[in-house]
Structure 1
């Protein structure tokens, strides 16, 4: 799976962070930038047939659109997106230069908040380095 976007250590850190927050409900983890992506985790009972390049394009545009649309809103800063599907959920956490989306089976709102917060910490720590 590795493409060289992330070090092995960074990929392992993302997986450990998400597994800790989500547990066995974790389906997949994809790290992305504006130009590239790397699926860092795929649960072994799932097939590797998703069109990730289309997902990435949509998620990147979706982040930029949401960030711009809600700028200076009384709701506060945009934090993350949850998408609900028939067979699971997608949580997207994005900074100005990179992002991660995680797919899951059913979770509670508290679980979503925990994983989004943990991913934000990971992305913010990477910006400092």
Structure 2
């Protein structure tokens, strides 16, 4: 993991957006690219022992596989993924070059949609992707 793989401004915007939308339910925020990642936020009551390298690698592959598998779907374009776990939820929002993983305590699906849309806009505005 390399520090500072994104600008401080983008990092702050991502964390602020996630924090505003989730409040105290926010557990962590991790920015990633195909080759690197940076954990931007971790709630104080959580331990820093997660193997983020494998976790991020899996989510990057998962994004690419999901995007490829459903590109001709009647459901429309792939937007984001929410995964449910015993102790929380994971939201993955990604573009062709970068992505964000947000873990939370439970939220409504509408909340995940709002967060995903806001994070997607930040990523696309920053990179110039459409």
Q: Give the TM bin, normalised by the shorter chain.
A: over 0.9
State the match for 1:96 in structure 2: 96
Report the equivalent of 1:52: 52
Q: Distance in 1 between matches of 2:10 and 2:97?
A: 16
Q: 1:2 to 1:11 in 2, by over 3 A?
A: farther
Unaligned runs of at least 5 residues, structure 2: none
Structure 1 counterpart SS, 2:103 = strand
SS at match of 2:126: helix
User: In the alignment, what sits opposite 1:42?
Assistant: 42
* Pairing 1:70-109 to 2, within 5 Å after superposition: 70-109=70-109
Give the C-alpha shift of residue 128 in structure 1: 2.1
**Superposed CA RMSD:** 1.5
Contact 2:2 2:37 in 1 (8 A): no
User: What TM-score do the two structures reach when normalised by structure 2?
Assistant: 0.95
Q: Distance in 1 between matches of 2:63 and 2:43?
A: 25
Count of residue pairs brought into register by the alignment: 129
Look up the match of 1:26.
26
| TM-score, reference length from structure 1 | 0.96
Greater than 6 Å deviation, 4+ residue runs = none
